[in-house]
């Protein structure tokens, strides 16, 4: 997301205003614009040591519920291995942020600014601004000839996954231009099937601070109904093969580009179906390049076979785009596919 960093110190214009001015409607806020959480999200600033040296720091604050947070501290965003990565669990008490394992640290949060210091002899000061970094690919326009799959109103392109329910309308909800999972109504998939294609899709994770792991904003984008690009609220985590951007249990993203819950994100995917010789022998695996929030997280990656939950093993046939109902209120919008080699 480096190219599209939207940096506005909260001190300059106030928290709610920053979020609404940086972000399209709904990003980092819900509905009427209320803030999902005052601490959660990206922070950027500096640490100043007693000898005067200044070190840039970034913090991703993961909401854990009950005023608890995990602060992942690095020297820059969007890297798997920073020159340092440390994380601390902290608590919010009024405007005071405390880190129980470092009681000498004192910090306050006010108007989107964290200001803190240590009370030790080697004291450091630190200051951070709350920022919102949006994907540069949000709102990507479908090229001429693309197949529109969801433009904010109609579910005409979709059907239920379950064969026995095909005649029943899709159970997911459409409102405010958004498609939202209705838990328990099942996966949905496009009526049309695709072979090689370029996909654009936007998604947003629900705010579930008490949930952990695979129970936190889980859904999935299944290419050809067979290969899952995981959708999960894994904001601030390491970026494993079952977390957001992972090709499920096949490959971890190069870097975890997951944005905080409540913020719209984008996947831009180039998919090449597996290739077979005349005798049915596989000559090449399915291949995928995935761009998450503007950053390449998989490049021409070979996927040896269908991932868990695939619709079938008929890998020689075209397949639908499938979106997973994993029981969480994940939202989607602006979905289109441009067919390659049709
Ligand atoms: Mg999933």
Architecture of domain 17-134: Beta Barrel (2.40)
CATH 3.40.50.10150 fits 139-339, yes or no: no
Distance 327 CA to ligand 1 centre (A): 10
Distance 311 CA to ligand 1 centre (A): 14
User: What's the CA gap between 50 and 12, in Å, rounded?
Assistant: 27
What would the two tokens of residue 231 be? 């959708």
Distance 228 CA to ligand 1 centre (A): 7
pLDDT tier for residue 34 given thresholds of 50, 70 and 90: low
161-186 pLDDT, tens digit per residue, is: 999 999 999 999 999 999 999 999 99
So where are the chain's domains? 17-134, 139-339
Distance 166 CA to ligand 1 centre (A): 22
User: What's the CA gap between 49 and 12, in Å, rounded?
Assistant: 25
What per-residue confidence (pLDDT) applies to 83?
Answer: 65
What per-residue confidence (pLDDT) applies to 157?
Answer: 98
pLDDT tier for residue 17 given thresholds of 50, 70 and 90: very low
Distance 110 CA to ligand 1 centre (A): 36
What per-residue confidence (pLDDT) applies to 121?
Answer: 65
What is the Cβ-side half-sphere exposure of residue 31, based on CA atoms within 13 angstroms? 5
User: What's the CA gap between 261 and 307, in Å, rounded?
Assistant: 25
Distance 230 CA to ligand 1 centre (A): 5
Nearest partner of 286 among 316, 321, 252, judged by Cα: 316
Distance 22 CA to ligand 1 centre (A): 29
| Long-range contacts formed by 170-173: CB under 8 A, 24+ apart | 172/325
Distance 324 CA to ligand 1 centre (A): 6
Phi, psi (rounded to 5 degrees) for 303: -110, 110
On average, the pLDDT of the chain sits at 89
State the residue for tokens 């609404």.
20
40-85 pLDDT, tens digit per residue, is: 999 999 999 888 899 999 999 999 999 999 999 999 999 987 667 8
Residues having C-beta closer than 5 Å to ion ligand 1:
218, 220, 324
Indicate the SS3 state at residue 170. coil
What per-residue confidence (pLDDT) applies to 22?
Answer: 34
Nearest partner of 31 among 262, 310, 260, 187, judged by Cα: 262
Does the predicted model carry a pTM greater than 0.85? yes
Distance 218 CA to ligand 1 centre (A): 5
């Amino acid at each position: 997301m480096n190219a599209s960093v939207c940096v506005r110190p909260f001190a300059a214009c106030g928290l709610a205003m920053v979020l609404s001015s940086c972000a399209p409607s709904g990003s980092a806020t819900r509905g009427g614009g209320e803030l999902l959480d005052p601490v959660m999200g990206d922070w950027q600033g500096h640490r100043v040591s007693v000898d005067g040296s200044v070190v840039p720091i970034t913090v991703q604050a993961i909401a854990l519920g009950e005023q608890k947070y995990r602060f992942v501290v690095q020297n820059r965003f969007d890297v798997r291995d920073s020159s340092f990565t440390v994380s601390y669990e902290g608590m919010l008490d009024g405007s005071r942020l405390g880190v129980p394992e470092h009681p000498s640290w004192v910090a306050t949060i006010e108007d989107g600014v964290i200001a803190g210091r240590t009370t030790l002899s080697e004291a450091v000061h630190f200051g951070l601004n709350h920022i919102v970094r949006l994907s540069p690919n949000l709102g990507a326009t479908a090229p001429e000839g693309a197949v529109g799959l969801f433009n904010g109103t109609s579910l005409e392109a979709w059907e239920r996954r379950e064969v026995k329910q095909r005649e029943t309308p899709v159970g997911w909800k459409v409102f405010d231009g958004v498609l939202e999972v209705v838990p328990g109504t099942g996966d949905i998939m496009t009526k049309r099937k695709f072979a090689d294609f370029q996909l654009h899709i936007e998604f947003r994770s629900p705010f579930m601070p008490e949930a952990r792991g695979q129970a936190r904003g889980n859904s999935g984008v299944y290419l050809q109904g067979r290969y899952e690009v995981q959708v999960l609220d894994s904001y601030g985590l390491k970026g494993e093969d079952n977390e957001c951007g992972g090709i499920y249990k096949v490959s971890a993203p190069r870097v975890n580009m997951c944005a905080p819950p409540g913020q719209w994100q984008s996947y831009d995917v180039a998919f090449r179906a597996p290739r077979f010789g005349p005798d049915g022998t596989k000559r090449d695996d399915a291949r995928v390049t995935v761009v998450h929030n503007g950053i390449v997280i998989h490049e021409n990656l070979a996927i040896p076979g269908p991932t868990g939950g695939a619709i079938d093993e008929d890998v020689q046939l075209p397949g639908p785009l499938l979106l997973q109902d994993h029981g969480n209120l994940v939202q989607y919008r602006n979905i289109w596919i441009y067919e390659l080699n049709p």
